Amino acid sequence: MKARLIGSFLSAVPLLLTFAVSAEPAGMARINLAGKGNVKLAPGAASPGARVGAITWGSEIERKQNLIAEITLADGWTEFSFSFTPDADGSVQLDLAGQDKSGDDKKKIALYTLYDDISVRGAELKNGDFET
């Protein structure tokens, strides 16, 4: 299951997102970012062990408007952050995802990825702590 958050931002201002994530059993956290309208996104820096970059599929415009941030998780909660810069004023959609894994019998095993305390520097994000 994916959770979606929409945030508003101003162009050319680097945005820094910080997350607390946990997976049981240990797995991977993945955040898909999609610029809305004509907004293109440029990847920035990421925490050690994490990465942020453009998607490698889809049309040329889709590759310029969509980023993926990923980090491999150990047991317990992990804090990580990444940044990106939009090229125009507008909105970006954040899809919070995890991963599925196949067992020895090739059946899918659900890995539950939990997110909490999401914050953004440089933009407005509503309900990043999931409390309201």
Structural domain spans, the chain: 3-123
| pLDDT for the residue numbered 62 | 94
Report the SS3 class of residue 107.
coil
- The CATH class for the domain spanning 3-123 reads mainly beta
pLDDT above 70 for 124: yes
- Asked if residue 97 lies in contact with residue 32, where contact means CB atoms within 8 angstroms, the answer is yes
Do residues 4 and 75 make contact, with C-beta atoms less than 8 angstroms apart? Answer: no
Would the pTM of this model clear 0.75, i.e. be above it?
A: yes
pLDDT band at residue 23 using 50, 70 and 90 as cut-offs: low
